Structure 1
Amino acid sequence: MNKAILFNFNVDKENNQIKVERSFNAPIDLVWAAWTEADILDQWWAPKPWVAQTKSMDFREDGHWLYAMVGPEKEKHWARVDYIKIIPEKYFSAYDSFCDAEGNPNSSLPRNKWENNFTDRIDETLVNVVLSFDTLEDLEKIIAMGFKEGFAAGLENLDQYIASQFYLRKQNKPNNKAKVSTYLNFPGKTEEAFHFYKSVFKTDFINGIQRFDDIPPASQQPPVAENVKKMVLHVELPILGGHILMGTDAPKEFGMSVNYGNNMHINLEPESRAEAERLFNELSKEGKIEMPIQDMFWGAYFGSFTDKYGINWMVNYQEGRTGQ
């Protein structure tokens, strides 16, 4: 996560275009998902303190995404994205326009065409964006509305989301022994909950409590908000029979939301890559895949899904350190 982040923003008035070049310290499948799946877009697309709220999304050619930018006073500004061409994990184009809550275009505000190209650099992804406007006046109106600052802030949200979600998983396992644990998320009450569990099971935390201000700083990422710094990034507590409870807070400042039903996963750590793939494929049949199982930039072979009975799972295989 410490690799320098590229961000170039150029206005080409001769061709009525805005050109953006942006890198992400994440593999292409993760970045592609972040740009094309509503539940992830809602977590980063809007600049703070605004949030994006999807009403409907159908990511396919001739499909569309209807969403609102929701302000701190709950005011809503609606937008519609109409998808034109899609080449998975490589390219998509779309028309972006302001609209009402039903998706009817607002002709008094400019519409533009987006063309997004994704380039795989193994542990880094480069996204090139070209926005084309009908007139120079339309381009200048969007610039005057603060597009550069808002878009840059949204991209920083995505960087922070990646850092907070995956920082700890980059650490190597001590060995390849199979493990099963339960992963819990709370909206700011992880420490309170885990002290309660600790008092009940009369055990101690493994390696203490790690907090959001333990994330290694990156020069081009925004600092963690003061009220988030002391929230729990990761905690582990043995309970019965060697079973481990793991937990983390899900700060609303990162665009995260926790609801009953999505705040607990069974985390499987099998002894081999082949077994990880088998478990993932068989358990996820007829379910909903959140993240396909794949090699991740923190060194794990990882995937997550909700099975056909509504149970949330993570499958996480990672090579143990040699000689142990």
Structure 2
Amino acid sequence: MTVISSTKSPEALSLAIVAEFDAGVERVWQIWEDPRQLERWWGPPTWPATFEDFDFQPGGQASYYMTGPDGTKARGWWRFTAIGAPDRLELDDGFADDTGNPVTDMGTARMAVALEDIGGRTRMTITSTFESVGQMEKMIQMGMEEGMGLAMGQIDAILAGQPAV
């Protein structure tokens, strides 16, 4: 399993998930900047993602949906706020309605991705920061922590060059 830790901090309103991979930082960066590779792991295995729009630059946006086993589509959006290739990415993250418009009552989370070289391997830390304890608790109750762990567990196969399933 690639995930080595998951830390919830209600005081900091954050959830940090750390994973390590047998690939260099530049290679791991590619799974973020290429929407086709991102689709292979963003979302748990039973909820694969499809990115409809992907403007990977500061101020750019992405829209996607994850399709559940019964065909249900859960939509989301990102707004890229900082991109420091190949080791730093920050974005605002939120839910969207059926037409792709942001759902404001769910709030917005800030996601920061840090990639660190650890002797030719890569440690990836994804830290989500929430607007309130209530939002954080709701997201964790909805399965965010478990879902991120399952999603990140799919990255090794991509990095090893295995074909999509």
Give the structure 1 partner of residue 56 of structure 2: 59
Equivalent in 45, 52, 76 of residue 73 of structure 2 = 76
Q: Secondary structure at the match of 1:127?
A: strand
Pairing 1:150-165 to 2, within 5 Å after superposition: 150-163=147-160, 165=162
Higher strand share: 2
Structure 1 position 95 matched with structure 2 position 98: no
Structure 2 contact 33–56 (Cα < 8 Å) conserved:
yes
Quick one: percent identity of the two aligned structures? 24
Structure 1 contact 47–154 (Cα < 8 Å) conserved:
yes
Give the structure 1 partner of residue 39 of structure 2: 42
The 3 A distance-change label for structure 1 pair 13 and 26 is same
Pairing 1:1-324 to 2, within 5 Å after superposition: 5=2, 7-163=4-160, 165=162, 250=163, 252=165
The 3 A distance-change label for structure 1 pair 5 and 47 is closer
Query: What whole-Å deviation, never above 9, does each CA across 1:140-175 have from its counterpart, x for those lacking one?
Result: 00000011111011111111333353xxxxxxxxxx
* Alignment partners' CA distance in 2, 1:81 and 1:96: 5
Structure 1 contact 96–111 (Cα < 8 Å) conserved:
yes
Q: Secondary structure at the match of 1:141?
A: helix
RMSD: 1.7
Structure 2 contact 3–149 (Cα < 8 Å) conserved:
no
Structure 2 contact 43–151 (Cα < 8 Å) conserved:
yes
Task: Tell me how far 1:251 sits from its aligned partner.
Answer: 5.2
Instruction: Tell me which stretches of 4 or more aligned residues in structure 1 moved more than 6 Å.
Output: none
Q: Which amino acid aligns with 1:53?
A: T
Q: TM-score, normalised by structure 1?
A: 0.49
Q: Which amino acid aligns with 1:32?
A: W
Structure 2 contact 91–110 (Cα < 8 Å) conserved:
yes
Q: TM-score, normalised by structure 2?
A: 0.92
Structure 1 contact 42–54 (Cα < 8 Å) conserved:
yes
The 3 A distance-change label for structure 1 pair 91 and 30 is same
**Higher-Rg member (1/2):** 1
Gaps of 5+ in 1: 166-249, 253-324
Gaps of 5+ in 2: none
